[in-house]
Amino acid sequence: MTQEQMRKILDRVLTWPAQRQETAARLLHELEQQHTSSYRLSDEQVAEVESRRTDFIQGRERHASDDEMAALWRKCGL
């Protein structure tokens, strides 16, 4: 995307309702914060995240239940 295309999009954003603009601003701020983070995943870590995400989407992996998380926290002494 060119800078001119980006400017056009941002100009259109300014015509959106205030609440929608606020959401866009928060999202852009979050992206900016992520970009300035000193933490970076290695290529192997990125591949692992993508693999696990795919497994979750396809039903091969699941979130821990509330009970499972509570047991984990107890085990960690928290």
Asked if residue 27 is part of any domain, the answer here is yes
How high is the pLDDT of residue 54?
96
Q: What is the sign, positive or negative, of the torsion defined by CA atoms of 26, 27, 29, 34? A: positive
DSSP assigned state of 16 = S
Asked if residue 73 is part of any domain, the answer here is no
How high is the pLDDT of residue 34?
83
Q: Which domain holds residue 20?
A: 3-36
What is the per-residue pLDDT across 32-71, written as a single tens digit (0 to 9) for each? 888 787 888 899 999 999 999 999 999 999 999 999 999 9
CA distances from 59 to 46, 69, 74, 78 (A): 20, 20, 28, 30
Asked if residue 30 is part of any domain, the answer here is yes
Q: Model-level pTM?
A: 0.46
Asked if residue 19 is part of any domain, the answer here is yes
Total number of domains constituting the chain = 1
Residue pair 63/53 in contact (Cβ under 8 Å)? The answer is: no
Residue pair 40/49 in contact (Cβ under 8 Å)? The answer is: no
